[in-house]
Structure 1
């Protein structure tokens, strides 16, 4: 049975649809702002600092040295899964402990519209990343020679990705929520500006967290890794569901893995 609201959406013009989407985004900005305002500051600080320190440890050779992995030539799947688990599980455990009373503010069940939306968000963010990569490589001094990095595809890395990206989402949004929380103490809140500044800083930090992975190429990390994360912020404002942003991140990275797999297949022939 189609409700009256659904009938109105079907009958509305393109202009009306654009206006409705803008209104929904503005409402979501306001709700997100108020939701973060209700969360105690000390909890956001603890989560942000912990995620940042754990990411710093995870992205340096220190973890491999602690696990004595530097001399291991044949890493088993179990050991491969252990390493990202050491990064993700503590963050998730702390997040659930700190925000157990607020989890419904961040996580909800999927619906069909959200699934369709997150898939398109993942595809679009990947397209944006590829466009920026092409612009940096061919439009500026960032040449193809600078970006040469021979990487082969290993199927087991897909399972590692599923675990690792969940930890990355906690880092990204703990940064976003922490910065946004600071704006809630202003006497005259500017909701849109607060969201924009929080987005810019969290995207930049997320990109810079990948520096060691991409041989400390700042441009690549800021613009190819960090900038497309704006789409995740928009997705959060639209759905208010971190499961959607995580899954969109998976779609984005699995597209990259697919291209890498095709490249590996071509090189083997």
Structure 2
């Protein structure tokens, strides 16, 4: 049975749909702001600091030496499963412990409409990243870092993405919520400005967290990896569901890996 609200959405014009989407996003900005305001500051600080420190440890080249992975070309599957799990599992455990009363604020039921929206958001964010990369490379004589780990991607590595990206999402949004929380103490709240600044700083920090992975190319990390994350903020405001942002992130990275792998395969055939 189609409800009256669904009938109105079907019958509305493109202009009406745009106005409705803008109104929904503005409402989501207000709801997100108030929701974060209700979360105790110390919980956000603990999650943010823990996720950041764990990310610094996880991306530190010394970890590979400690685990004797520096000269290992094909680590066993058990090790591939263990390493990303050690990064993500503690963050999930702490997140669930700190926000067990607020989990519905972050995670909701994942429906088919949200799945489609997440896929399109992932594709769109990848398109933005590729566009920024092309602009930097051809407009400013920029050369991206060679990522041999991506080029040598094998199917078993998909588990690393599935697990690791969930940890990355917790890092990204713990940063976003922590910064947004600081704005809630203002006497005259500016909802839109607060969201924009929190998003901007979160994207920069998220990009910088990839420095060791991309040979410390700051421009690549900030502009190509960090800035497209704005799409995830918009997706969060639209759905208020971190499962959507995680799925969009997964689609983004998997498509990027497939494109790079295909380009590498084609170039090797012409050598």
Kept in 2, the 8 Å contact 1:153–1:260? The answer is no
Query: Paired residue for 1:125?
Result: 125
Distance 2:125 2:146 in 1: 22
Q: Secondary structure at the match of 2:214?
A: coil
> 254-263 or 180-189, which moves further after superposition?
254-263
In the TM superposition, residue 112 of structure 1 has moved relative to its aligned partner by 1.8
Query: Paired residue for 1:79?
Result: 79
Distance 2:98 2:107 in 1: 14
Write the deviation string for residues 164-196 of structure 1: whole angstroms up to 9, x where unpaired: 100000000000000000000011100000000
Kept in 1, the 8 Å contact 2:165–2:246? The answer is yes
Write the deviation string for residues 122-159 of structure 1: whole angstroms up to 9, x where unpaired: 0000000000011111011314xx54454322221111
Query: Paired residue for 1:42?
Result: 42
2:56 corresponds to 1:56 = yes
Distance 2:53 2:230 in 1: 23
Kept in 2, the 8 Å contact 1:153–1:264? The answer is no
Distance 2:113 2:121 in 1: 12
In the TM superposition, residue 257 of structure 1 has moved relative to its aligned partner by 1.4
Distance 2:153 2:268 in 1: 11
Query: Paired residue for 2:155?
Result: 155
Trace 1:149-228 onto structure 2 (pairs within 5 A): 149-150=147-148, 151-228=151-228
In the TM superposition, residue 116 of structure 1 has moved relative to its aligned partner by 1.1
Number of matched pairs: 267
C-alpha root-mean-square deviation of aligned residues, in Å? 1.3
Q: Which runs of 5+ in 2 are unaligned?
A: none
Kept in 1, the 8 Å contact 2:145–2:214? The answer is no
Q: What TM-score results when the alignment is normalised by the length of structure 2?
A: 0.95
Kept in 1, the 8 Å contact 2:146–2:214? The answer is no
Distance 1:69 1:236 in 2: 36
Q: Secondary structure at the match of 2:155?
A: coil
Kept in 2, the 8 Å contact 1:152–1:264? The answer is no
Query: Paired residue for 1:3?
Result: 3
Distance 1:77 1:56 in 2: 24
Kept in 1, the 8 Å contact 2:207–2:226? The answer is yes
In the TM superposition, residue 69 of structure 1 has moved relative to its aligned partner by 2.6
Kept in 1, the 8 Å contact 2:35–2:105? The answer is yes
Q: What TM-score results when the alignment is normalised by the length of structure 1?
A: 0.96
Distance 1:188 1:73 in 2: 56
